[in-house]
Amino acid sequence: MARIRILVVDDEKHVVELIRDILESAGYKVVPAYNAKEALEKVYTESPDLILLDILMPKVDGYQVYREIRDDLLLANIPIIYVNN
């Protein structure tokens, strides 16, 4: 059985690592991304089952990433949870 793949997006590395530790200890596969550009690339290359998305990021915020994902019919059904730390 394939593990559920979760894309964790946050510009603060320690936040990504903390979430990664928690999720991996629960058996999930975590794909990290540290900015909007990297997040959008990994959505296509990693095919996540869920996205945990930081709202406040420099240059491009989480809302814009959300809109770009929702505008793509191939990605629009991926669940997204906003993370605001």
Residue 85 clears pLDDT 90, i.e. is over it: no
User: In which band, very low, low, confident or very high, does the pLDDT at 2 lie, cut at 50, 70 and 90?
Assistant: low
Number of domains present in the structure of the chain: 1
Residue-number span of the structural domain to which 27 is assigned: 5-83
**Residues contacting residue 8 through CB under 8 Å, at least 6 positions apart:** 16, 19, 20, 23, 30, 31, 32, 33, 52
Residue holding tokens 């993370």?
83
Q: In terms of DSSP H, where are the helices of the chain?
A: 13-25, 36-46, 62-70
Token readout for 51 is: 């996205």
The residue-averaged pLDDT of 23-39 equals 96
Q: Give this prediction's pTM.
A: 0.93
Mean per-residue pLDDT of the chain: 94
Residue 81 clears pLDDT 70, i.e. is over it: yes
**Domain CATH number, residue 34:** 3.40.50.2300
The residue-averaged pLDDT of 12-32 equals 97
Q: Is 31 exposed, middle or buried (0-12, 13-18, 19+ CB in 10 A)?
A: buried
